[in-house]
């Protein structure tokens, strides 16, 4: 076999992404901890508990694992409820703790990307109404100001809000996230408040740190009409795409909020993205169905030939990832892949999924798309929100009871990619040999 490597730029970032509630442990003062202790909210009644025990100090050994395998960046989040446990209380020791963690990344020659909100809210904020409250953006920007003032010496890449589209759908349409509502009017109000919150945070960060780069991490999900000849399927796929994919990045580009039947404007939100972060896992087909009002009159499903993850949550659709990056390029912004991965406790699909998706990133980079980094989801198995411990996304396996880690083969594959800044045929031959004929023909 001829040996070859698909090379990335020398300054390209390769890392993993994590979130505070999913890895820190004992975040007892936020809405997700309370949600976990309500019957029937989390699959199997799972609790986050110690999670990956990062607050207890195990971040050090996990950062070592990342650095030792060639990762040169890491995306982590700040837990708002730790920094501001009550509306009028700030915990400076918590900011010192995060400062130590971020310095730990820098000492390991890893670039930090810091997310300021990753789904979890302080209980006091939730009790006021959370993201439904008209002053939600004010509360959020006050918190952002405190964090950025403390950490700006070490951080220049900020994510204001992780997946605002998933937050809205999970918490206010499907009801799987706290507060568990199913009300489209409330969802629209929350969308407005999230745009305000991001815009306020963006301006606060740039006042404190003019050279910072600020964006969001958007969950991009391509919606394809199940029957290309059907105007109803095409119309519903377009509606879902406009609401889920387009709404937030368009609002942060133009200041215009496009709801299905109304238009609003927040002028301060225009041009409040220095980059766009893309979280991509899968795409799906959309068919119009008059009987499914709870799903916006759609039936959504994976193509019958699609390769599925072990619980069926994710379909391996790398070509749709390429189309998503093509879509993102239209915003004329630098791009980061802020999350991409697959649940796979046996580590059978992950090597193939990882190589195929990174190959699509390589394709776009070679078309001069301005992609600057890739963050794999995730470093170590962690608590996956309403799905608890049933899904294993980690390059390292976690034993929840003992906190022991076990390196999966995919971690070795990713190490080969990170160290070469490319996709070497030798690594593909070892970990995903079935891909050799299509990736390295001849």
Query: Across 174-222, where does the E strand assignment appear?
Result: 213-219
* Cα 297–Cα 298–Cα 303 angle in degrees, nearest 5: 170
Mean pLDDT, to the nearest integer, of 282-286?
A: 97
86-133 confidence digits (pLDDT tens)? 999 999 999 999 999 999 999 999 999 999 999 999 999 999 999 999
Q: What is the CATH number of the domain that holds 158?
A: 3.20.20.80
**Residue 81: closest CA among 117, 108, 43, 46:** 117
Residues 17, 283: Cα–Cα separation, whole Å: 21
Mean pLDDT, to the nearest integer, of 158-173?
A: 98
In this prediction, residue 1 has a pLDDT band, given cuts at 50, 70 and 90, of low
**Residue 127: closest CA among 76, 178, 188:** 178
Q: Which domain holds residue 331?
A: 5-439
The owner of tokens 């993102």 is: 328
8-52 confidence digits (pLDDT tens)? 999 999 999 999 999 999 999 999 999 999 999 999 999 999 999
Q: What 3-state class would DSSP assign to 371?
A: strand
Number of domains in the chain: 1
Instruction: For residue 125, say if its preceding peptide bond is cis, omega within 30 degrees of 0.
Output: no
pLDDT of residue 2: 67
79-93 confidence digits (pLDDT tens)? 999 999 999 999 999
**Residue 181: closest CA among 121, 128, 103, 129:** 129
Mean pLDDT, to the nearest integer, of 291-317?
A: 94
DSSP string, 250-279: HHHHHSEEE-SS-EEE-GGGTT--SSEEEE
Mean pLDDT, to the nearest integer, of 210-237?
A: 97
pLDDT of residue 296: 84
How far, in Å, are 73, 130, 159, 328 from residue 230 at the CA level?
45, 40, 39, 26
388 conformational bin, left if phi > 0, alpha if psi -120 to 50, beta if neither:
left
Q: Say how many Å lie between the first and final Cα of the chain, rounded.
A: 8
153-163 confidence digits (pLDDT tens)? 999 999 999 99
């Amino acid at each position: 076999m001829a040996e070859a490597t698909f090379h990335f730029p020398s300054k390209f970032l390769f890392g993993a992404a994590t979130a505070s509630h999913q890895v820190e442990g004992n975040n007892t003062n936020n809405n997700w901890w309370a949600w976990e202790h309500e019957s029937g909210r989390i699959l199997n009644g799972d609790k986050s508990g110690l999670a990956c025990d990062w607050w207890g100090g195990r971040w050090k050994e996990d950062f070592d694992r990342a650095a030792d395998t060639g990762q040169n960046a890491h995306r982590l989040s700040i837990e708002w409820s730790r920094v501001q446990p009550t509306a009028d209380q700030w915990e400076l020791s918590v900011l010192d703790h995060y400062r130590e963690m971020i310095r730990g990344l820098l000492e390991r020659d890893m670039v930090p990307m810091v997310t300021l909100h990753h789904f979890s809210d302080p209980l006091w904020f939730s009790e006021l109404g959370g993201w439904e409250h008209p002053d939600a953006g004010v509360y959020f920007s006050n918190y952002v100001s405190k964090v950025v003032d403390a950490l700006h010496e070490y951080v220049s890449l900020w994510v204001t809000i992780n997946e605002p589209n998933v937050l809205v759908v999970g918490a206010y349409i499907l009801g799987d996230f706290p507060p568990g509502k199913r009300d489209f009017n409330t969802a629209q109000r929350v969308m407005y408040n999230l745009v305000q919150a991001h815009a306020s945070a963006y301006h606060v960060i740039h006042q404190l740190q003019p050279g910072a780069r600020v964006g969001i991490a958007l969950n991009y999900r391509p919606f394809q009409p199940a029957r290309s000849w059907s105007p109803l399927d095409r119309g519903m796929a377009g509606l879902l795409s406009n609401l889920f994919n387009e709404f937030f990045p368009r609002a942060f580009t133009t200041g215009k909020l496009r709801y299905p039947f109304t238009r609003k404007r927040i002028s301060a939100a225009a041009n409040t993205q220095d980059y766009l972060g893309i979280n991509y896992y899968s795409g799906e087909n959309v068919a119009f169905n008059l009987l499914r009002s709870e799903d916006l009159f759609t039936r959504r499903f994976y193509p019958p030939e699609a390769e599925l993850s072990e619980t069926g949550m994710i379909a391996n659709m790398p070509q749709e990832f390429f189309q998503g990056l093509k879509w993102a390029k239209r915003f004329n912004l630098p791009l980061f892949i802020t999350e991409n991965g697959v649940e796979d406790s046996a580590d059978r699909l992950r090597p193939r999924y990882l190589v195929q998706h990174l190959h699509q990133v390589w394709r776009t980079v070679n078309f001069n798309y301005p992609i600057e980094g890739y963050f794999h989801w995730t470093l170590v198995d962690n608590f996956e929100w309403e799905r608890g411990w049933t899904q294993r996304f980690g390059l390292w396996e976690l034993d929840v009871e003992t906190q022991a880690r076990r390196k999966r083969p995919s971690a070795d594959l990713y190490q080969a990619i990170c160290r070469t800044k490319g996709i070497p045929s030798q690594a593909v031959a070892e970990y995903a040999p079935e891909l050799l004929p299509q990736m390295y023909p001849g």
